[in-house]
Amino acid sequence: MKLSSGMCPGLDENLLRSLRAADIRTVEDLVSSDIEDLAQKCSVSYKALFAIRRVLLAQNTAFPVSGADLYEELLSSTAILSTGNPSLDKLLDSGLYTGEITELTGGPGSGKSQVCFGVAVHIAYQLKQSVIYIDTTGGLTANRLLQMLQTETNNTDEQMEALQRIHTFRLFDVGALLDCLYGLGGGGLHKVCVGGGSVKALIVDSVSAVIAPLLGGKQNEGMSLMIQVAAALKTMAKDFSVAVLVTNHVTRSSSGEVQPGLGVSWSHVPRTRILLERVESGASGRRSATLIKSSRQACLIKEDFDLQWWSRAEGERGGETSGKRKLDETDT
Amino acid sequence: KSKRSRANDHEEEEGRTEMSESGTQLFARLEARRCLKDVEPRLFADDGGPDRGEVVEVYGPEGTGKTELLYHLLCRCVLPEAAGGLEVDVVFVDTDYSLDMFRLASVLDSRLNAGGSAGSDDAVLRLCLSRLLVVRCSSSSQLLLTLHFLETTLSSRPRAALLLIDSISAFYWSDRSEGGASVAKQEEKLSRCSELLGRLLRDYRITIFATCHPIRRGSNGPPSSSEADRSHLCRAWQRLVTHRLVCSRQEAQHNPANGDEGSGEQRNWQVFTVHCSSWTGTKGSRVSSFRVTDGGVEDGSESGSSDVWFYQ
């Protein structure tokens, strides 16, 4: 980070010039150098330089937090959002956790977008919270969402209310995605919370569509942009207590098995990963979901579920619990 | 007090505390911090655990149990001695926002319960968690500045003996792209961090464990195939590392005949192996294996013993 005048009291143009002459241009240079030495070279008082160093350090460093305080904070701010589908919830250990990134991966036609629609509708209508939906494939239509809502309720007012809680962004390249995420992080989230309910979920469908074209070859740009997207998503999740759901494509590994796309460097980003596949036999809406990465459950548990779950007719809904399912404590 | 005398007081105070080490600072620096050689003897070759001032790099692709291993070590350090712990303070530097406090708390909880000490109540859990200090960094510049700041933290906490960094390779790609074409520029920030870490190791005699993610998909073959496992980080960091734990994963069938809940279905246990190489003291290597259960890391050897690892 470059040093500039006015960054902190005492750092004026004269001092900046003498520092530059001594080859100190950035905050890191100043903090790493020997203050006594530097004070002599720039003929400034040791105390003044030391005070400046201390202020710059305090402004730019990350502060340590006690584990106990962090735990308390997480206990009170973490919520688990049900996806609306009990089989998926079972795999996810009750649902999507705020503060974490969950990934849905699968081949074309495996139902990733449908699951995202269903989750968005469930959170907006049943849990009455706002959802941000970032669509990078052009697959999201308001009609589809309305269709799903119409099976939940016949009341058009309620339908409109729920639709208003789903805020969509349509973008097609990584620059726009980063701008959108930074904008949301820098205060945009509050503007979006009109109509009640804070934003509790952020869905990006799909993240690989904007990043995969950048990878490969010798350029480092692609990898660096991918890591920036990952960092932006994680910051959103942690700082605003939001559950992030992303979708990813699949590729085949050298031994022929199916694995999630975007490579090794992305594999650390989501906390939980689910692989969706079509079920060979059975009705067209059947899919199987396998848990391939989880920090809470044994891996490789599989659940079959029906994509039509979120569009069931009114009569089929038996004893489904509705209303907010917000858990304050996350006892597993 | 008038402004002038306040200014004088301030200057005096600064002079006392900054121009020379105060008594407490000197004491904190020189007093021996707890040696962590015995933090997990099953991982390292005989008596080859990390001594004060040594660095252990935990390397492995995603899903090979590195984070669980870190939690295991963390718990071992912060638990009270009655539950098998070492009662030392730990500083955790989180560079990719991956610390899962709930998982950590549940492992601590099960260790406290298994320890047989008067059950675990909230107070004991919070006492253990208060021995942990978490710092989150979002860029290598911030990491460098934070490490400078941590120097004061270390000097004010003489019980802090372990610095955990998860992970040290998090900024590899952003540094590479910022550095442009020159490799030296790309590695500059991590080199500076490594030099600073080296100084902290020398001055404060702590131990460092750091995880490192590989950058390309290596084969999950025998650990001796060093091609895929060679470190891609800068020289300055590689020079600091004295022990290297390479983690990999393989599946093993759990024998249902052991009366496992009578469910009759075979459970696939994920067994993780760790290959340890050391370059100091007793040069040697060792291969060990473990499983991950609800209660954390457990012995994964075929003999089927299910003792929790660090029961002394």
Q: Alpha helices, DSSP H only, in A64-206?
A: 67-77, 86-91, 112-125, 142-152, 156-165, 174-183, 189-192
Residue A5, domain member (yes or no): no
- pLDDT digits 0-9 by tens, A157-174: 888 888 888 999 999 999
Same domain, A201 and A55: no
**Rounded average pLDDT over A173-192:** 85
Same domain, A140 and A177: yes
User: A220: distance to nearest CA of chain B, Å?
Assistant: 6
Task: Give CA separation, B311 vs B112, B299, B301, B306, in Å.
Answer: 12, 11, 16, 11
Q: Do B192 and A28 touch (CB under 8 A)?
A: yes
The two tokens of residue B181 are: 């074409």
Count of CB contacts below 8 A, A vs B? 143
User: B281: distance to nearest CA of chain A, Å?
Assistant: 32
Q: Do B134 and A70 touch (CB under 8 A)?
A: yes
Q: Sign of the C-alpha dihedral, residues B237, B241, B245, B246?
A: positive
Q: Does residue A318 register a pLDDT over 90?
A: no
User: B26: distance to nearest CA of chain A, Å?
Assistant: 19
**What are the chain B neighbours of A233 within 8 Å (beta carbons)?**
none
Which of A60, A223, A268 shows the shortest C-beta gap to B213?
Answer: A268
Mean pLDDT of chain B: 76
Higher pLDDT, B304 or A251: A251
Residue A3, domain member (yes or no): no
Give the number of other CB atoms < 10 A from CB of residue B259: 7
Residue B105, domain member (yes or no): yes
Residue A329, domain member (yes or no): no
Burial B159-193 (b: 16+ CB within 10 A, else e): ebbbbbbbbbbbbbbbbbbbbeeeeeebbbbbbbb
Same domain, A108 and A231: yes
Q: Do B173 and A235 touch (CB under 8 A)?
A: no
Q: For residues B223 and B143, what is the distance between their CA atoms, to the nearest angstrom?
A: 31
Question: Do residues A87 and A304 lie in contact, with contact meaning Cβ atoms separated by under 8 Å?
Answer: yes
Q: For residues A291 and A285, what is the distance between their CA atoms, to the nearest angstrom?
A: 19
Contacts of B274 (CB under 8 A, 6+ apart): B43, B69, B245, B246, B247, B287, B288, B289, B290
**What are the chain B neighbours of A46 within 8 Å (beta carbons)?**
19
Ranges A87-96, B60-69, B101-110, B236-245: which has the least confidence: B60-69
Type of residue at A16: L
Contacts of B158 (CB under 8 A, 6+ apart): B27, B28, B31, B33
Same domain, A47 and A127: no
What CATH number does the domain containing A99 carry? 3.40.50.300
The two tokens of residue B106 are: 């549940």
Q: Do B11 and A298 touch (CB under 8 A)?
A: no
**Rounded average pLDDT over A235-261:** 89
Number of domains making up chain A: 2
Q: Do A228 and B174 touch (CB under 8 A)?
A: yes
Q: Does residue A135 register a pLDDT over 90?
A: yes
**What are the chain B neighbours of A60 within 8 Å (beta carbons)?**
141-142, 145
The two tokens of residue A162 are: 């729920």
Residue B255 pLDDT: 45
Q: Domain containing B280: what range? A: 24-215+233-251+270-299
Same domain, A51 and A180: no
Which of A31, A70, A74 shows the shortest C-beta gap to B145?
Answer: A31
Picking from B71, B97, B166 by the largest number of A CB atoms within 10 A of its own CB, the best residue to mutate is B97
Residue B225, domain member (yes or no): no
Residue B245, domain member (yes or no): yes
User: A141: distance to nearest CA of chain B, Å?
Assistant: 33
Which of B18, B92, B217 shows the shortest C-beta gap to A50?
Answer: B18
Higher pLDDT, A254 or A319: A254
Residue B10 pLDDT: 52
What CATH number does the domain containing B51 carry? 3.40.50.300
Q: State residue B30 phi and psi, 5-degree precision.
A: -85, -30
Q: For residues A91 and A115, what is the distance between their CA atoms, to the nearest angstrom?
A: 14
Ranges A294-303, B112-121, B156-165: which has the least confidence: B112-121
Q: Domain containing A23: what range? A: 13-60
Residue B262, domain member (yes or no): no
Same domain, A160 and A273: yes
Place B281 in a pLDDT band, splitting at 50, 70 and 90.
low
Q: Does residue B212 register a pLDDT over 50?
A: yes
Same domain, A52 and A75: no
Q: State residue B71 phi and psi, 5-degree precision.
A: -65, -40
Which of B67, B132, B270 shows the shortest C-beta gap to A67?
Answer: B132
SS3 B81: helix
**Rounded average pLDDT over B264-269:** 48
- pLDDT digits 0-9 by tens, B79-92: 888 888 888 999 99
Residue A142, domain member (yes or no): yes
Residue B203, domain member (yes or no): yes
Give the number of other CB atoms < 10 A from CB of residue B299: 16
Type of residue at A163: L
